[in-house]
Structure 1
Amino acid sequence: MLKLAAAFSLIAGSAFASGLEIQIEGEGANGTVKIDLFEDVAPKHVEQITALAAEGKYDGVVFHRVIEGFMAQTGDVQFGKLGEDMRRAGMGGSERPDLPAEFSDIAYDRGVVGMARSQNPNSANSQFFIMFAPGHFLNGQYTVVGKVTEGMDVVDAIKRGSGQSGSVKGQPDVMTKVTVTE
Protein backbone atom coordinates (compact mmCIF):
# COMPACT_ATOMS: atom_id res chain seq x y z
CA MET A 1 0.00 0.00 0.00
CA LEU A 2 2.87 2.38 0.83
CA LYS A 3 4.43 1.78 -2.61
CA LEU A 4 1.09 2.53 -4.25
CA ALA A 5 0.80 5.79 -2.29
CA ALA A 6 4.37 6.74 -3.24
CA ALA A 7 3.70 5.97 -6.91
CA PHE A 8 0.52 8.04 -6.86
CA SER A 9 2.30 10.99 -5.24
CA LEU A 10 4.97 10.92 -7.99
CA ILE A 11 2.32 10.90 -10.70
CA ALA A 12 0.43 13.71 -9.00
CA GLY A 13 3.66 15.69 -8.62
CA SER A 14 3.28 16.08 -4.89
CA ALA A 15 5.99 16.91 -2.38
CA PHE A 16 6.43 13.25 -1.38
CA ALA A 17 8.94 12.68 -4.19
CA SER A 18 12.45 12.72 -2.91
CA GLY A 19 14.63 13.49 -5.89
CA LEU A 20 15.41 14.19 -9.51
CA GLU A 21 17.56 12.34 -12.00
CA ILE A 22 18.79 14.64 -14.77
CA GLN A 23 20.37 13.43 -18.02
CA ILE A 24 22.64 16.17 -19.40
CA GLU A 25 24.19 16.32 -22.87
CA GLY A 26 26.25 18.90 -24.68
CA GLU A 27 29.65 20.25 -25.60
CA GLY A 28 30.65 20.31 -21.93
CA ALA A 29 28.67 17.87 -19.80
CA ASN A 30 27.46 14.39 -20.67
CA GLY A 31 26.04 12.19 -17.94
CA THR A 32 23.60 11.87 -15.09
CA VAL A 33 23.08 14.11 -12.06
CA LYS A 34 21.03 12.96 -9.07
CA ILE A 35 19.51 15.49 -6.70
CA ASP A 36 17.99 14.88 -3.28
CA LEU A 37 15.05 17.26 -2.88
CA PHE A 38 14.31 18.78 0.53
CA GLU A 39 10.51 18.42 0.84
CA ASP A 40 10.63 19.29 4.53
CA VAL A 41 12.55 22.52 3.88
CA ALA A 42 10.75 23.85 0.78
CA PRO A 43 7.57 21.80 0.21
CA LYS A 44 5.89 24.19 -2.25
CA HIS A 45 9.02 24.54 -4.37
CA VAL A 46 9.68 20.80 -4.40
CA GLU A 47 6.05 20.15 -5.35
CA GLN A 48 6.32 22.59 -8.28
CA ILE A 49 9.65 21.19 -9.52
CA THR A 50 8.48 17.58 -9.33
CA ALA A 51 5.19 18.39 -11.06
CA LEU A 52 7.03 20.13 -13.92
CA ALA A 53 9.49 17.22 -14.18
CA ALA A 54 6.69 14.62 -14.15
CA GLU A 55 4.96 16.54 -16.97
CA GLY A 56 8.18 16.49 -19.04
CA LYS A 57 8.45 20.29 -18.97
CA TYR A 58 12.18 20.27 -18.12
CA ASP A 59 13.09 17.86 -20.94
CA GLY A 60 15.08 19.75 -23.58
CA VAL A 61 15.71 22.82 -21.38
CA VAL A 62 19.22 24.32 -21.57
CA PHE A 63 21.64 25.63 -18.98
CA HIS A 64 21.33 29.24 -20.11
CA ARG A 65 23.44 30.99 -17.43
CA VAL A 66 26.64 29.35 -16.23
CA ILE A 67 29.24 31.31 -14.25
CA GLU A 68 32.65 29.79 -13.52
CA GLY A 69 33.24 29.39 -9.78
CA PHE A 70 29.62 30.20 -8.98
CA MET A 71 26.68 28.25 -10.45
CA ALA A 72 24.84 26.72 -13.44
CA GLN A 73 21.24 27.90 -14.01
CA THR A 74 18.50 26.12 -15.96
CA GLY A 75 14.76 25.45 -15.82
CA ASP A 76 13.23 28.13 -18.05
CA VAL A 77 10.47 25.92 -19.46
CA GLN A 78 8.95 28.89 -21.32
CA PHE A 79 11.94 30.26 -23.27
CA GLY A 80 14.79 27.85 -22.55
CA LYS A 81 14.05 24.90 -24.84
CA LEU A 82 16.90 23.75 -27.06
CA GLY A 83 16.43 24.98 -30.63
CA GLU A 84 14.50 28.10 -29.68
CA ASP A 85 15.72 31.71 -29.62
CA MET A 86 18.22 31.64 -26.76
CA ARG A 87 18.19 35.44 -26.39
CA ARG A 88 15.07 35.11 -24.20
CA ALA A 89 16.30 32.10 -22.18
CA GLY A 90 16.19 32.95 -18.50
CA MET A 91 13.32 35.43 -18.80
CA GLY A 92 10.51 32.92 -18.39
CA GLY A 93 8.98 30.43 -16.05
CA SER A 94 6.04 28.08 -16.34
CA GLU A 95 2.27 28.40 -16.54
CA ARG A 96 2.15 27.66 -12.81
CA PRO A 97 1.99 30.54 -10.29
CA ASP A 98 5.10 32.03 -8.72
CA LEU A 99 5.95 30.72 -5.28
CA PRO A 100 6.28 32.41 -1.89
CA ALA A 101 9.84 32.22 -0.54
CA GLU A 102 10.67 29.24 1.70
CA PHE A 103 13.98 30.44 3.14
CA SER A 104 15.95 28.16 5.45
CA ASP A 105 19.21 27.99 7.41
CA ILE A 106 20.82 25.68 4.83
CA ALA A 107 24.03 27.24 3.49
CA TYR A 108 24.73 27.65 -0.20
CA ASP A 109 27.65 25.22 -0.39
CA ARG A 110 28.99 23.29 -3.39
CA GLY A 111 26.27 21.08 -4.88
CA VAL A 112 23.35 22.89 -3.25
CA VAL A 113 20.36 23.49 -5.54
CA GLY A 114 18.45 26.75 -5.20
CA MET A 115 15.52 28.42 -6.92
CA ALA A 116 16.19 31.36 -9.21
CA ARG A 117 13.97 34.42 -8.86
CA SER A 118 13.72 38.09 -9.79
CA GLN A 119 14.22 40.94 -7.31
CA ASN A 120 10.96 39.89 -5.64
CA PRO A 121 11.69 37.11 -3.10
CA ASN A 122 8.28 35.58 -3.90
CA SER A 123 8.89 35.20 -7.64
CA ALA A 124 10.52 31.75 -7.98
CA ASN A 125 8.73 29.60 -10.54
CA SER A 126 10.57 26.93 -12.54
CA GLN A 127 14.21 28.00 -12.82
CA PHE A 128 16.85 26.57 -10.53
CA PHE A 129 20.61 26.63 -10.15
CA ILE A 130 23.34 24.29 -8.93
CA MET A 131 26.30 25.70 -7.01
CA PHE A 132 29.86 24.99 -8.27
CA ALA A 133 31.32 26.49 -5.09
CA PRO A 134 30.09 28.03 -1.83
CA GLY A 135 28.10 31.23 -2.25
CA HIS A 136 27.12 32.13 1.29
CA PHE A 137 26.02 35.62 0.24
CA LEU A 138 22.89 33.82 -1.09
CA ASN A 139 22.05 32.33 2.34
CA GLY A 140 18.58 33.33 3.48
CA GLN A 141 18.00 35.18 0.17
CA TYR A 142 17.05 32.29 -2.15
CA THR A 143 15.07 29.12 -1.44
CA VAL A 144 17.19 25.96 -1.12
CA VAL A 145 15.41 22.98 -2.70
CA GLY A 146 18.01 20.21 -2.66
CA LYS A 147 21.56 18.96 -3.07
CA VAL A 148 23.44 16.97 -5.71
CA THR A 149 24.12 13.45 -4.39
CA GLU A 150 25.70 11.96 -7.55
CA GLY A 151 27.19 13.43 -10.71
CA MET A 152 28.89 16.54 -9.41
CA ASP A 153 31.61 15.78 -11.98
CA VAL A 154 28.92 16.17 -14.66
CA VAL A 155 27.82 19.49 -13.14
CA ASP A 156 31.45 20.64 -13.12
CA ALA A 157 31.67 19.93 -16.87
CA ILE A 158 28.64 22.07 -17.87
CA LYS A 159 29.62 24.51 -20.62
CA ARG A 160 30.44 27.89 -19.11
CA GLY A 161 28.88 31.11 -20.23
CA SER A 162 31.03 33.78 -21.83
CA GLY A 163 28.33 36.36 -22.46
CA GLN A 164 26.78 39.05 -20.30
CA SER A 165 25.83 37.76 -16.82
CA GLY A 166 27.13 34.29 -17.71
CA SER A 167 24.93 33.69 -20.74
CA VAL A 168 26.08 30.73 -22.80
CA LYS A 169 27.19 31.48 -26.37
CA GLY A 170 26.59 28.98 -29.15
CA GLN A 171 25.03 25.64 -28.22
CA PRO A 172 24.37 25.37 -24.45
CA ASP A 173 24.34 22.05 -22.59
CA VAL A 174 20.83 20.66 -22.15
CA MET A 175 18.77 18.59 -19.73
CA THR A 176 17.60 15.92 -22.18
CA LYS A 177 15.47 14.06 -19.61
CA VAL A 178 14.46 14.95 -16.06
CA THR A 179 12.86 12.16 -14.03
CA VAL A 180 11.28 12.24 -10.57
CA THR A 181 12.75 9.56 -8.30
CA GLU A 182 11.57 7.99 -5.05
Structure 2
Amino acid sequence: MAVKKKNPRQPAPPRRNLIIAAIIVFTLLLAAATGYSTYRQEQQPESNAAAEKPNDKQADAGKADDKNTGNNKAAQSAGDLSKTKKDLVVIKTSLGDIEAEVYPELMPVTVTNFEKLAGSEFYNGLTFHRVEDWVVQGGDPEGDGSGGPGWTIKLETNPLLKNTRGAVAMARSEKPDTAGSQFYILKKDASWLDGDYAVFGRVVKGMEIVDRLKPGDKMQTVDIAKN
Protein backbone atom coordinates (compact mmCIF):
# COMPACT_ATOMS: atom_id res chain seq x y z
CA MET A 1 0.00 0.00 0.00
CA ALA A 2 1.46 3.22 -1.07
CA VAL A 3 1.87 5.76 1.66
CA LYS A 4 0.77 9.21 0.70
CA LYS A 5 3.32 11.84 1.48
CA LYS A 6 2.17 14.75 3.54
CA ASN A 7 2.61 18.06 1.86
CA PRO A 8 5.03 20.13 3.90
CA ARG A 9 3.77 23.60 4.98
CA GLN A 10 4.78 26.03 2.33
CA PRO A 11 6.55 29.24 3.49
CA ALA A 12 4.66 32.45 2.82
CA PRO A 13 5.62 33.94 -0.51
CA PRO A 14 7.99 36.91 -0.24
CA ARG A 15 5.36 39.31 -1.62
CA ARG A 16 2.92 38.32 1.08
CA ASN A 17 5.56 38.98 3.74
CA LEU A 18 6.13 42.47 2.34
CA ILE A 19 2.41 43.27 2.48
CA ILE A 20 2.18 42.14 6.10
CA ALA A 21 5.23 44.19 7.04
CA ALA A 22 3.81 47.27 5.30
CA ILE A 23 0.52 46.92 7.22
CA ILE A 24 2.39 46.71 10.53
CA VAL A 25 4.52 49.77 9.74
CA PHE A 26 1.46 51.78 8.64
CA THR A 27 -0.40 50.84 11.85
CA LEU A 28 2.54 51.95 13.99
CA LEU A 29 2.88 55.26 12.12
CA LEU A 30 -0.86 55.95 12.45
CA ALA A 31 -0.78 55.27 16.18
CA ALA A 32 2.21 57.58 16.62
CA ALA A 33 0.56 60.39 14.64
CA THR A 34 -2.67 60.08 16.64
CA GLY A 35 -0.79 60.21 19.91
CA TYR A 36 1.15 63.33 18.86
CA SER A 37 -2.02 65.11 17.73
CA THR A 38 -3.68 64.38 21.09
CA TYR A 39 -0.61 65.68 22.91
CA ARG A 40 -0.64 68.96 20.91
CA GLN A 41 -4.34 69.51 21.68
CA GLU A 42 -3.76 68.94 25.39
CA GLN A 43 -0.85 71.41 25.42
CA GLN A 44 -2.64 74.16 23.47
CA PRO A 45 -4.28 76.83 25.71
CA GLU A 46 -8.03 77.37 25.55
CA SER A 47 -8.98 79.90 22.90
CA ASN A 48 -10.13 83.27 24.17
CA ALA A 49 -9.54 82.19 27.79
CA ALA A 50 -7.89 85.52 28.63
CA ALA A 51 -10.80 87.49 27.23
CA GLU A 52 -13.67 85.91 29.15
CA LYS A 53 -13.72 89.20 31.02
CA PRO A 54 -15.29 91.91 30.82
CA ASN A 55 -18.73 90.30 30.36
CA ASP A 56 -20.30 86.86 30.26
CA LYS A 57 -22.73 87.79 27.48
CA GLN A 58 -21.74 91.17 26.13
CA ALA A 59 -17.97 91.37 26.54
CA ASP A 60 -16.46 87.98 25.79
CA ALA A 61 -13.25 88.58 24.10
CA GLY A 62 -12.63 87.42 20.56
CA LYS A 63 -9.93 88.50 18.20
CA ALA A 64 -10.99 91.36 15.93
CA ASP A 65 -10.31 90.67 12.28
CA ASP A 66 -11.24 94.13 11.08
CA LYS A 67 -10.47 97.10 13.32
CA ASN A 68 -10.80 100.82 12.70
CA THR A 69 -8.67 103.41 14.43
CA GLY A 70 -9.21 107.12 15.04
CA ASN A 71 -8.20 109.51 12.31
CA ASN A 72 -6.32 112.11 14.32
CA LYS A 73 -2.78 111.32 13.14
CA ALA A 74 -1.37 114.45 14.74
CA ALA A 75 -2.61 113.39 18.16
CA GLN A 76 -1.31 109.84 17.65
CA SER A 77 2.13 111.05 16.64
CA ALA A 78 2.25 113.37 19.65
CA GLY A 79 2.03 110.34 21.92
CA ASP A 80 -0.18 111.82 24.65
CA LEU A 81 -3.83 112.68 25.17
CA SER A 82 -3.22 116.35 25.96
CA LYS A 83 -3.15 117.09 22.22
CA THR A 84 -6.59 115.78 21.42
CA LYS A 85 -10.15 117.09 21.86
CA LYS A 86 -11.97 115.95 25.00
CA ASP A 87 -15.62 115.96 25.99
CA LEU A 88 -16.64 115.52 29.63
CA VAL A 89 -19.08 112.82 30.75
CA VAL A 90 -20.72 113.16 34.17
CA ILE A 91 -22.37 110.02 35.55
CA LYS A 92 -24.46 110.86 38.62
CA THR A 93 -25.02 108.05 41.14
CA SER A 94 -26.41 107.87 44.67
CA LEU A 95 -22.81 107.55 45.88
CA GLY A 96 -21.55 110.63 44.04
CA ASP A 97 -20.47 111.75 40.58
CA ILE A 98 -18.11 109.96 38.20
CA GLU A 99 -16.44 112.27 35.67
CA ALA A 100 -14.73 110.93 32.56
CA GLU A 101 -13.03 112.35 29.49
CA VAL A 102 -14.02 110.91 26.12
CA TYR A 103 -12.08 111.46 22.89
CA PRO A 104 -14.23 112.19 19.82
CA GLU A 105 -11.23 112.75 17.53
CA LEU A 106 -9.49 109.50 18.45
CA MET A 107 -12.66 107.37 18.62
CA PRO A 108 -15.27 109.12 16.47
CA VAL A 109 -17.65 106.19 15.88
CA THR A 110 -17.71 105.09 19.51
CA VAL A 111 -17.96 108.55 21.08
CA THR A 112 -20.66 109.68 18.64
CA ASN A 113 -22.72 106.62 19.54
CA PHE A 114 -22.21 107.08 23.30
CA GLU A 115 -23.04 110.78 23.22
CA LYS A 116 -26.13 110.12 21.11
CA LEU A 117 -27.40 107.67 23.73
CA ALA A 118 -26.56 109.98 26.63
CA GLY A 119 -28.20 112.94 24.86
CA SER A 120 -31.41 110.97 24.44
CA GLU A 121 -31.38 110.10 28.18
CA PHE A 122 -31.02 106.42 27.29
CA TYR A 123 -28.71 105.76 30.24
CA ASN A 124 -30.76 107.59 32.87
CA GLY A 125 -31.94 105.12 35.50
CA LEU A 126 -30.02 102.12 34.16
CA THR A 127 -28.00 99.98 36.54
CA PHE A 128 -24.46 98.78 36.86
CA HIS A 129 -25.51 95.17 36.42
CA ARG A 130 -22.01 93.75 36.70
CA VAL A 131 -19.61 94.65 39.48
CA GLU A 132 -16.44 92.65 40.05
CA ASP A 133 -13.12 93.32 41.74
CA TRP A 134 -11.59 94.51 38.47
CA VAL A 135 -14.48 95.98 36.44
CA VAL A 136 -17.95 97.54 36.60
CA GLN A 137 -20.35 97.42 33.68
CA GLY A 138 -23.65 99.07 32.86
CA GLY A 139 -25.77 100.52 30.10
CA ASP A 140 -28.08 97.55 29.54
CA PRO A 141 -31.82 98.35 29.47
CA GLU A 142 -32.54 94.71 30.32
CA GLY A 143 -30.35 94.88 33.41
CA ASP A 144 -28.78 91.44 32.93
CA GLY A 145 -26.10 91.95 30.28
CA SER A 146 -28.21 90.85 27.32
CA GLY A 147 -29.72 94.11 26.06
CA GLY A 148 -28.80 97.08 23.93
CA PRO A 149 -30.18 100.08 22.04
CA GLY A 150 -31.40 98.13 19.01
CA TRP A 151 -28.27 98.58 16.90
CA THR A 152 -24.57 97.83 16.98
CA ILE A 153 -21.48 99.77 15.92
CA LYS A 154 -18.22 98.84 14.24
CA LEU A 155 -15.23 98.14 16.47
CA GLU A 156 -12.57 100.83 16.48
CA THR A 157 -9.39 100.97 18.53
CA ASN A 158 -6.58 103.46 19.04
CA PRO A 159 -3.02 102.68 20.20
CA LEU A 160 -3.10 105.64 22.60
CA LEU A 161 -6.03 104.23 24.56
CA LYS A 162 -5.27 101.25 26.78
CA ASN A 163 -7.23 99.06 29.19
CA THR A 164 -5.78 100.54 32.37
CA ARG A 165 -7.45 101.44 35.67
CA GLY A 166 -10.07 104.12 34.99
CA ALA A 167 -10.47 103.28 31.28
CA VAL A 168 -13.99 103.59 29.86
CA ALA A 169 -14.71 101.17 27.02
CA MET A 170 -17.52 99.48 25.14
CA ALA A 171 -18.55 95.95 26.04
CA ARG A 172 -19.45 93.53 23.28
CA SER A 173 -20.10 89.85 22.53
CA GLU A 174 -17.58 87.45 21.01
CA LYS A 175 -17.91 89.11 17.60
CA PRO A 176 -16.04 92.40 17.11
CA ASP A 177 -18.77 94.65 15.70
CA THR A 178 -21.43 94.01 18.36
CA ALA A 179 -21.10 96.89 20.84
CA GLY A 180 -24.25 98.94 21.37
CA SER A 181 -24.87 100.70 24.67
CA GLN A 182 -23.11 98.65 27.34
CA PHE A 183 -19.83 100.04 28.61
CA TYR A 184 -17.36 99.14 31.32
CA ILE A 185 -15.01 101.03 33.65
CA LEU A 186 -11.86 99.24 34.77
CA LYS A 187 -10.91 99.14 38.44
CA LYS A 188 -7.66 97.34 37.58
CA ASP A 189 -5.38 97.19 34.54
CA ALA A 190 -6.49 94.59 31.95
CA SER A 191 -3.89 94.70 29.18
CA TRP A 192 -5.10 91.42 27.63
CA LEU A 193 -8.10 93.37 26.30
CA ASP A 194 -5.99 95.91 24.39
CA GLY A 195 -6.78 95.97 20.68
CA ASP A 196 -10.00 93.98 21.05
CA TYR A 197 -12.26 96.46 22.84
CA ALA A 198 -13.08 100.10 22.08
CA VAL A 199 -11.52 102.19 24.85
CA PHE A 200 -12.91 105.69 24.28
CA GLY A 201 -12.37 107.53 27.55
CA ARG A 202 -11.01 107.49 31.09
CA VAL A 203 -12.24 108.52 34.50
CA VAL A 204 -10.63 111.77 35.68
CA LYS A 205 -12.61 112.20 38.90
CA GLY A 206 -14.60 109.83 41.07
CA MET A 207 -12.68 106.54 40.89
CA GLU A 208 -13.40 106.15 44.59
CA ILE A 209 -17.08 106.06 43.58
CA VAL A 210 -16.39 103.41 40.96
CA ASP A 211 -14.60 101.32 43.58
CA ARG A 212 -17.64 101.50 45.88
CA LEU A 213 -20.33 100.59 43.33
CA LYS A 214 -22.46 97.52 44.02
CA PRO A 215 -24.55 95.42 41.58
CA GLY A 216 -27.81 97.25 40.92
CA ASP A 217 -26.54 100.75 41.71
CA LYS A 218 -28.06 103.17 39.20
CA MET A 219 -26.82 105.83 36.85
CA GLN A 220 -29.25 108.56 37.82
CA THR A 221 -28.23 110.69 34.86
CA VAL A 222 -25.45 110.65 32.25
CA ASP A 223 -24.64 114.09 30.83
CA ILE A 224 -22.18 115.30 28.19
CA ALA A 225 -20.33 118.62 28.30
CA LYS A 226 -18.72 119.25 24.92
CA ASN A 227 -15.65 121.45 24.64
Tell me whether 1:51 sits opposite 2:125 in the alignment.
no
Say if 1:60 and 1:175, in contact at 8 Å, map to a contact too.
yes
User: What runs of 5+ residues in structure 2 fail to find an aligned partner?
Assistant: 1-84
Question: Which structure ranks higher in relative contact order (CA pairs < 8 Å, sequence separation ≥ 6)?
Answer: 1
Cα separation, 2, equivalents of 1:94 and 1:19: 22
**Counterpart pick for 1:101 among 129, 151, 155:** 155
How does the TM-score come out when normalised to structure 2? 0.60
Cα separation, 2, equivalents of 1:103 and 1:67: 24
**Counterpart pick for 1:143 among 154, 175, 198:** 198
Cα separation, 2, equivalents of 1:67 and 1:56: 26
Tell me whether 1:174 sits opposite 2:218 in the alignment.
yes
For the residue of structure 2 that corresponds to 1:175, the secondary structure is coil
Cα shift at 1:19 = 2.1
Q: Which residue of 2 aligns with 1:122?
A: 177
For the residue of structure 2 that corresponds to 1:92, the secondary structure is coil
What root-mean-square deviation, in Å, do the aligned CA atoms of Structure 1 and Structure 2 show? 1.3
For the residue of structure 2 that corresponds to 1:39, the secondary structure is coil
Q: Which residue of 2 aligns with 1:92?
A: 147
Q: Which residue of 1 aligns with 2:55?
A: none
**Counterpart pick for 1:71 among 135, 138, 155:** 135
AA matched with 1:79: E
Cα separation, 2, equivalents of 1:150 and 1:138: 23
Q: Taking every aligned residue pair, what percent have the same amino acid on both sides?
A: 33
**Counterpart pick for 1:38 among 81, 103, 127:** 103
- Structure with the largest fraction of helix: 2
Report the number of matched residues. 141
For the residue of structure 1 that corresponds to 2:219, the secondary structure is strand
User: What runs of 5+ residues in structure 1 fail to find an aligned partner?
Assistant: 1-15, 81-88, 160-167
Cα shift at 1:175 = 0.3
For the residue of structure 2 that corresponds to 1:47, the secondary structure is helix
Cα shift at 1:52 = 0.7
AA matched with 1:128: F
Tell me whether 1:21 sits opposite 2:76 in the alignment.
no
How does the TM-score come out when normalised to structure 1? 0.74
AA matched with 1:75: G
Superimposed CA distance per residue, residues 127-177 of structure 1 (whole angstroms, 9 cap, x where no aligned partner): 000000100010001001100011111111111xxxxxxxx4xxx111011
